[in-house]
Amino acid sequence: MADEDLGGAPGRAAPPALETGAGAVEAATAAVPRRRSRFVVPDTAALAIVLVGLFIFFSITSPYFFNDRNLIVILQQVVRIGIVAAPATLLLISGQFDLSVASIAAFTGMLLAVATASPEAAKTPFALGLPLEAGILIAIIGALLVGTVNAVCVTTFRINALITTLGTLAIFRGLTKVLGNGQTINIDGFETLGLGQIAGIPITILILFAVTILFFVILRYTTYGRSMYAIGASPTAARLAGIRTNRAIFIGFMLSAALAGLAGMILLSQVGAAAITAASGLELDVVTAVVLGGASLAGGRGSIVGTILAVLIVGVLKNGLVQLGVQQFWIEVATGALLLIAVGADQLRIRLTKSAA
């Protein structure tokens, strides 16, 4: 059956399988067996307790952890993870993945740096010497191009999202190196986005707050957000209920690419240069935060509140370990272990849910 438009008239009587709009989402969601209350894990409450526990532990063990300056540093360090994790939560709720976010961030930053670099001074033949505004526009188009490639491969050619984004991860990391000619490209006059402040609050933190609110509203109060839950819970039921699943997933990949591009430009602004290895490991931090935050690998479950709490947990853990003098490779070990724990907990929830159905 062809996908129907999400904008159907909810007031018109129709067979349940042909409902559209908000009614379609409710019909698709209703088709999924409900969990018994005794197996419902209060994810956000548990995450809040873990976050508070980490704060207390590191405040006791390090005299430099709990102060205004370090707390601002933690927030600034998790800004890029949080910005990318918001659309990643949306995608994972619908049962999709985007592992190319780190390459998108690096590619976008390199596009901006190369577009504005002076051909005489730059070490790359792709330098254009354009005004900053033109460079920003080119970078945005580049990020959306990657999102389009991902979305078309998944929705039109039916290639698995994991395989698709692993492919584009490699492709656009390689193109980043090609654009930069294997070099780090400097940029001038682009400090405001990453280092500026409004009323004493870093702009990056305000951006993270705005993105969080935006995706909270999308998932909680819009038909599109509810449709993503329905798609993740049962793609077939969602499609039969009239939800345009391909369009919804396409938009999700475009949002992921756009915000990964924003994260790349923030990193470029903070560092003042585009490196070919920029944002390496971002996808690991994002997946860790999203899964730890309660989004299920099986789809149909997740929240922005849980994701942001998990982002803060990742940031506090890394910062606290640095404060204690732990070497960087052990911090990477801790991050990987945290991901395994989060995935293991998700699989346990799935098994408990199936046994309760």
Confidence check: pLDDT of 22 > 80: no
Q: Which of 33-47, 80-94, 110-124 has the lowest mean pLDDT?
A: 33-47
Query: What's the confidence (pLDDT) of residue 26?
Result: 55
CA distance 221 to 225: 7
Q: At what angle do helices 203-221 and 68-93 cross, to 10 degrees?
A: 30
CA 302, 248, 91, 254 dihedral sign is: negative
Alpha carbon 20 to chain centroid, angstroms? 28
Which has more confidence, 343 or 180?
180
In sequence order, what are the residues at sequence separation of 6 or more whose Cβ sits closer than 8 angstroms to the Cβ of residue 65?
Answer: 58, 59, 319, 320, 323
CA distance 140 to 204: 18
pLDDT winner (highest mean) among 5-9, 19-23, 151-155, 326-330: 151-155
What percentage of the chain exceeds 70 in pLDDT? 87
Per DSSP, what are the bridge partners of residue 198?
201
In a domain, 263, yes or no: yes
Three-point CA angle 286, 328, 111, nearest 5°: 50
Query: What's the confidence (pLDDT) of residue 10?
Result: 43
Confidence check: pLDDT of 32 > 60: no
CATH of the domain at 328: 1.10.3470
Average pLDDT value for the chain: 88
Q: What domain range is 219 assigned to? A: 43-356
What one-character-per-residue DSSP string does 79-105 give?
HHHHHHHHHHHHHHHTT---TTHHHHH
Q: Which of 41-55, 121-135, 200-214, 223-237 has the lowest mean pLDDT?
A: 41-55
In a domain, 162, yes or no: yes
End-to-end CA distance of the chain: 29
pLDDT band at 154 (very low <50, low <70, confident <90, very high): very high
In a domain, 29, yes or no: no
In a domain, 6, yes or no: no
What percentage of the chain exceeds 90 in pLDDT? 75
Q: How many domains does the chain have?
A: 1
Q: Give which of 17, 52, 45, 44 is closest to 31, Cα–Cα.
A: 17
In a domain, 31, yes or no: no
In a domain, 192, yes or no: yes
Q: What is the pLDDT of residues 260-273, one digit of tens each?
A: 999 999 999 999 99
In single-letter form, the type of residue at position 196 comes to G
In a domain, 56, yes or no: yes
pTM of the model: 0.86
In a domain, 277, yes or no: yes
Section 61-76 average pLDDT: 93
Section 219-240 average pLDDT: 96
Query: What's the confidence (pLDDT) of residue 135?
Result: 97
Q: What are φ and ψ of residue 169, in 5° steps?
A: -55, -50
Q: What is the pLDDT of residues 230-259, one digit of tens each?
A: 999 999 999 999 999 999 999 999 999 999
- Residue 58 · residue 245 · CB < 8 Å: no
Query: What's the confidence (pLDDT) of residue 28?
Result: 52
CA distance 7 to 14: 14
Query: What's the confidence (pLDDT) of residue 11?
Result: 44
CA distance 304 to 232: 16
- Residue 185 · residue 124 · CB < 8 Å: yes
Per DSSP, what are the bridge partners of residue 185?
274
